[in-house]
Amino acid sequence: MVVAVGSAIVATVVGSAIGTASGYFGGVADLVTQRVIDVWLAFPGLIFVIFLVGILSNSFPVLILTIGLLYAAGSSRVVRGAVLAVRESLYVEAARALGARHGRILLRHIIPNVMAVIIVNTSAQLGSIILLESSLSFLGFGPPPPFPSWGRMLSEARNQMVYHPNLMLFPGLAVTLAVFSFNMFGDAVRDILDPRLRGR
């Protein structure tokens, strides 16, 4: 959970900053940024994390930063798409016509109107990060002992699977429930924050 929350925060902050700037300013900067993101997304996620963790270490800061940067590329794409839609709105055009500066438009009009997308994306990423961290721990690249990890619990229970299946059952259920809960939480937050869904 520590790795999931920390990585989601890193991914949200970095991805939102890149996506907002790229989508709002557009032009050559947006084109170059998106090509870099394409290369970023081309790396296989699990192999990329295993490679960096194997070189550096499997400590909490390294795991959080590595997984966070991996998911930041996807976050930037989602945020950029939302910003591209919002920046063409009439109230943004009106703010530009009144002489509002870029910083004011971003803080008062763009970011508040894409915040729901950012929150939903972050909650969805939490579930995905939990699965990735569990996979890393299952393969031996997760947080080192004595820190608990559901993936390592599953790995250690493999040899006892026939005689003690409960050793694998409960960590597996914990991972499943955590991912399901974060996905449902994201849907609930989206329904609350999206004005188009409030009246339903």
Q: Which of 6, 66, 10 is nearest to 40 (CA)?
A: 66
Handedness of CA 60, 63, 69, 73 (dihedral sign): negative
Tokens for 35? 């090509």
The pLDDT assigned to 139 comes to 83
Domain ranges of the chain: 2-193
Q: Average pLDDT, stretch 192-199?
A: 59
Q: Average pLDDT, stretch 128-150?
A: 83
Average pLDDT in the chain: 83
The pLDDT assigned to 14 comes to 93
Alpha-carbon dihedral 84, 86, 89, 92, rounded to 10 degrees: -100
**Superfamily in which the 2-193 domain is placed by CATH:** MetI-like (1.10.3720.10)
The pLDDT assigned to 176 comes to 87
The pLDDT assigned to 23 comes to 87
Helix (H) or strand (E) holding 52: helix 45-55
Prediction pTM value: 0.81
DSSP state of 190: H
The pLDDT assigned to 195 comes to 57
